[in-house]
Chain A
Amino acid sequence: MGDSVPAPDKPTIPITVDFSGGLEMLFSNQKRHSLTIPATDSNEKPATIAFLIDHLCKNLMTDPRSEMFVLDKHIRPGILVLINDADWELEGEEAYELQPKDNILFVSTLHGG
């Protein structure tokens, strides 16, 4: 597993991240990942979904085709993001601040029907 280990003195949050609809192919063909991510970004701001997406690209993605997941540093249109089963549009999208035990699901609508 490509899960990163944050520096020991930094606070972290445990979350689970799920990939489906074909996106799991980019992440070691594994649907569910239990992760421990830094609680804050490099500017000491709380970790958000935007931070998580960047974190996943840098630390968890095993396939070079990152454009299947992000385009212009944002999630690729056609990929749905669910935060604890709720559409991320209801939760503030990229600005949503991650909470311990959150479940984030990325599901692609782009693969074969």
Chain B
Amino acid sequence: MAPSLCAICKTERALIKRPKNHAKLCKTCFITIFEDEVHHTITSSKLFYPGEKVAIGASGGKDSTVLASVLKTLNERHNYGLDLVLLSIDEGIKGYRDDSLETVKRNAVQYEMPLKVVGYDELYGWTMDQVVETIGKKGNCTYCGVFRRQALDRGAKMLDIKHVVTGHNADDVAETILMNLLRGDLSRLSRSTSIVTGDSKSDVKRSKPLKYAYEKEIVLYAHHKKLDYFSTECIYSPEAFRGSARSLIKQLERVRPSAILDIVRSGEDMARLVPGESSSTCGGTCKEKKTTAPVAVEDDIGGCGSTNSRAPGGEMAAMEKQLRENEASEGLEVDITKTVSQRKDGATDNQKALPLRNANKNSKPITRQVLGNCKRCGYMSSQDICQACMLLEGLNKNRPQIQI
């Protein structure tokens, strides 16, 4: 095959074929367009304000490393005026974080950013090793995931930072949309599409500037910019990435690369149909603009393995269980606003009832949750006691007596 030339500069050899539009690009043009698109996401969603202090949730993995690198570049190129800090979570799994923390430490030097490492022991009084000692290896990913979701926020609070950015990419968002679609949970689906989570009630805002970036391009960006990142899998779930919604996403991508962003856009479109929920959309194309709807951080993508969590394989079953339990309690604790309320066109009840499967006892009506704060820790939660505090209560009851 004769080498093709870059579609942009028409001089260099093309090395990248973009999944979203099949454009063949050279290394330099690819890096530029990748950065430009993240810049576009940031400005069109008005993610930052000048002088804002922002913590980058950093695991040493590819996504957060690329996020840190791109944010540093854009902050300097476009004068965002951001004060960037790397924030890492140490789950307390012996040996597991050693290499990734070393990577983050090198990143801190490479990107000239301060680094703060916060441990589960500091935040919860438990390391993951101690959790596993107490409850065994089964189901510990649930603990790890729930704890991690709050860990960044709590760590940010300790640093007096009100905005945490994470490296969640388009594949992550598509995966979450798909899982919620499979479960028929439109409410959670719509929230998962939002680029920003957290609202005035919560102390810490969360956002994902790489929401429209393909995982493939993130890896290629890291490769061509020779970024220093670390790959690992959680030692407590070595089978983690088998048979997951993730695999399905990757297979779809193989057949039709644009599928990933199509799922993200479909999720956003569906979100707009869920009353009380809306999400900022741009999809990299800016077909329309919407106000950003802040959503509960608790419902953000969760799981295990890194700051950028996955919800794969065997973990999916655990997550299903967790979600079922949540739903059971949600019914009692959440202030439900019936969304099948008066329509302006005066449609009859019969017509309204049709599209919703309310007849099915198991399917909840599409509702908007009213968020409150956890009565124990104050963390934003749709329940009286947040998931982390519930899990901690169980753990503390089971804490081995013979502790010195």
- Residue numbers of A with Cβ under 8 A of B are 20-22, 67-68, 76-78, 80, 82, 85-87, 89-92, 96, 105, 107-113
Closest to A20 in B: B231
- Given A77-B254, A113-B64, 7 extra CB contacts under 8 A: A78-B253, A85-B27, A87-B15, A112-B233, A112-B306, A113-B308, A113-B310
CB distance from B231 to the nearest CB of A (A): 4
**Cβ of B307 and Cβ of A113 under 8 Å apart?**
yes
**Cβ of A90 and Cβ of B24 under 8 Å apart?**
yes
| B253 cross-chain contacts in A, Cβ below 8 A | 77-78
Closest to A108 in B: B231
Distance, CA A86 to CA B27, complexed state (A): 9
Task: Give the most central of A105, A110, A113: most B CB within 10 Å.
Answer: A113
Closest to B230 in A: A112
A109: contacting residue among B1, B216, B251, CB under 8 A: B216
Please tell me if B153 contacts chain A, counting CB pairs below 8 Å: no
A22-B233, A77-B253, A78-B247 in contact; A111/B241 too (CB < 8 A)?
Answer: yes
CB distance from A26 to the nearest CB of B (A): 12
**Cβ of B219 and Cβ of A109 under 8 Å apart?**
yes
Distance, CA A25 to CA B242, complexed state (A): 16
Distance, CA A22 to CA B234, complexed state (A): 12
CB distance from B87 to the nearest CB of A (A): 15
| B171 cross-chain contacts in A, Cβ below 8 A | 109
A107-B219, A110-B241, A113-B64 in contact; A90/B17 too (CB < 8 A)?
Answer: yes
Please tell me if B4 contacts chain A, counting CB pairs below 8 Å: yes
| A20 cross-chain contacts in B, Cβ below 8 A | 231
CB distance from B144 to the nearest CB of A (A): 12
| B306 cross-chain contacts in A, Cβ below 8 A | 112-113
**Cβ of A112 and Cβ of B232 under 8 Å apart?**
yes
**Cβ of A77 and Cβ of B62 under 8 Å apart?**
no
**Cβ of B1 and Cβ of A90 under 8 Å apart?**
yes
Please tell me if B116 contacts chain A, counting CB pairs below 8 Å: no
Distance, CA A92 to CA B215, complexed state (A): 22
A21-B62, A80-B220, A82-B223 in contact; A89/B232 too (CB < 8 A)?
Answer: no
**Cβ of A80 and Cβ of B219 under 8 Å apart?**
yes
| A107 cross-chain contacts in B, Cβ below 8 A | 219, 223
Please tell me if B155 contacts chain A, counting CB pairs below 8 Å: no
CB distance from B6 to the nearest CB of A (A): 11
Distance, CA A39 to CA B188, complexed state (A): 54
Q: Mark B298-319, 1 if CB is under 8 A from A, else 0.
A: 0000000111101000000000
CB distance from B67 to the nearest CB of A (A): 10
| A92 cross-chain contacts in B, Cβ below 8 A | 1
Distance, CA A113 to CA B14, complexed state (A): 27
| A78 cross-chain contacts in B, Cβ below 8 A | 215, 246-247, 250, 253
Closest to A22 in B: B231
Distance, CA A80 to CA B216, complexed state (A): 8
Distance, CA A90 to CA B169, complexed state (A): 24
| A85 cross-chain contacts in B, Cβ below 8 A | 15, 27, 224
| B90 cross-chain contacts in A, Cβ below 8 A | none
CB interface residues, B 141-197, toward A, < 8 Å: 167, 169, 171-172
**Cβ of B15 and Cβ of A86 under 8 Å apart?**
yes
